[in-house]
Amino acid sequence: MAASSYSVQQYLLDRANIHDIVTKLNFARLASEVYAAEALIDCTSVLGGEPETVSTAEWIAAVLALTFDAYASTQYLQTDASPSSITKNAGLLQVKLGRDVGLEEKGDNPWRITKVKLVKRWGQTELHAN
């Protein structure tokens, strides 16, 4: 899209569509409504290795399984207990979006996430004696 033909209306529509994509919390539809079919995933600041282009449907399924399985609906209460270690991490998530012309022609939100980069800012592990 040429810069001279980029109208205020198109800017506002793009801004709203990008906001909708980045803030969507419908986990069941992440692969179909938020991410492109493939995306470059870069977790090197946390896990090492190299960035990798993957099928987003497979990546999302794996991430959601790890996330939701780790936080199953179970509660355990125990007194006088101290964990052997606590790990805390903080960082940010950088995303890159691309416009899907096919979706745009159908009148759908054309923006999809094409790259995800985790940027670790700090991490801390506290060891406790049992």
Show me where the domains of the chain are located.
Answer: 3-69+83-121
Please identify every stretch of the chain with a pLDDT value under 50, giving residue numbers as ranges: none
How much is the pLDDT for 9? 95
- What is the CA angle 5-96-87, rounded to 5? 155
User: Dihedral of CA 57/23/119/117: which sign?
Assistant: positive
How much is the pLDDT for 122? 84
How much is the pLDDT for 116? 93
Whether the full predicted model's pTM is greater than 0.75, yes or no, is: no
| CATH number of the domain located at residue range(s) 3-69+83-121 in this protein | 3.10.450
How much is the pLDDT for 46? 84
